[in-house]
């Protein structure tokens, strides 16, 4: 029978600080650029640009942050296309609905644009109106001019753990380093592992036992 390595007890899903409902409240943390500078660069690039980086490095979070800021400042509408692994094309019905509703200066966001085949990506671009903006995320550069590249760090993971739960103690900091390296900087997967560890009582989130 499997055994638990810690006597701290299980953490119910509703109390797990690493649950998705808590992650959705986390805002993108800017390092080399500010929100204002990226918005300015987006305009310089004629409102068509790509957020580039590996999986789980914050591209989608930044895309949502920028889209929210753009629509708040300009009152344009935003339309979203979410592509998953293996989506080599956007269904015709989706494209027809998208381009029949999107206005001349509205913003179209494509999350996971690298999934499209070269031909379908070019076809998508040709359907954009002259004034329409397009903000995409991609694992590789070259689909649109690069707005910025997203990169994570161990300190970022520690900051997120601090915000979601409590500051990690010395032992937890070492665990975070192992988790971060195991997932090759993929913060999303690292947080998922922390959720599982917390659920199984292997990650202490009690403030009474945190070493400051």
201 and 139 inside one domain: no
Angle formed at CA 192 by CA 27 and CA 15, multiple of 5 degrees: 80
pLDDT tens-place string over residues 55-86: 999 999 999 999 999 998 778 999 999 999 99
How many domains does the chain divide into?
2
pLDDT tens-place string over residues 90-109: 999 999 999 999 999 999 99
Pairwise CA distance, residues 77 & 107, whole Å: 6
The answer to the question of residue 122 being in a domain is yes
Q: Which of 100, 131, 149 is the last residue of a domain?
A: 149
pLDDT beyond 50 at 136: yes
49 and 143 inside one domain: yes
61 and 157 inside one domain: no
Which domain covers residue 174, as residue numbers?
152-207
Q: Which of 101, 125, 149 is the last residue of a domain?
A: 149
Please check whether residue 55 is in contact with residue 139, taking contact to mean a CB–CB distance below 8 angstroms. yes
111 and 133 inside one domain: yes
Helical axes 92-101 vs 118-127, angle rounded to 10° = 20
133 and 161 inside one domain: no
Whole-model pTM over 0.75: yes
133 and 49 inside one domain: yes
Pairwise CA distance, residues 69 & 42, whole Å: 12
The answer to the question of residue 18 being in a domain is no
179 and 126 inside one domain: no
Q: Domain containing 138 — which CATH number?
A: 3.40.50.300
The answer to the question of residue 201 being in a domain is yes
Whose tokens are 């753990």? That residue is: 161
106 and 164 inside one domain: no
Torsion angle defined by CA atoms of residues 132, 24, 180 and 135, in that order, rounded to the nearest 10 degrees: 0
């Amino acid at each position: 029978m499997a055994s638990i390595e810690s006597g701290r007890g299980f953490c119910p899903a509703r109390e797990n600080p690493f649950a998705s409902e808590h992650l959705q409240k986390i805002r993108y943390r800017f390092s080399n650029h500010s929100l204002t500078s990226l918005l300015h660069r987006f305009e310089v690039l004629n409102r068509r640009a790509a957020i580039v980086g590996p999986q789980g490095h914050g591209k989608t979070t930044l895309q949502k942050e920028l889209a929210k800021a753009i629509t708040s400042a300009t009152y344009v509408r935003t339309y979203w296309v979410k592509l998953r692994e293996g989506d080599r094309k956007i269904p015709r019905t989706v494209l027809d609905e998208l381009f029949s509703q999107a206005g001349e200066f509205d913003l179209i966001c494509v999350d996971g644009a690298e999934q499209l085949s070269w031909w379908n990506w070019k076809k998508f671009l040709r359907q954009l109106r002259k004034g329409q903006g397009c903000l995409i995320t991609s694992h590789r550069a070259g689909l649109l001019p690069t707005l910025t590249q997203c990169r994570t760090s161990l300190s970022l993971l520690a900051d997120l753990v601090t915000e979601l739960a409590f500051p990690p103690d010395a032992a937890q900091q070492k665990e975070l380093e192992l988790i971060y390296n195991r997932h090759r900087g993929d913060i999303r997967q690292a947080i998922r592992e922390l959720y599982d560890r917390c659920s199984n009582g292997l990650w202490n989130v009690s403030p009474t036992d945190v070493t400051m």
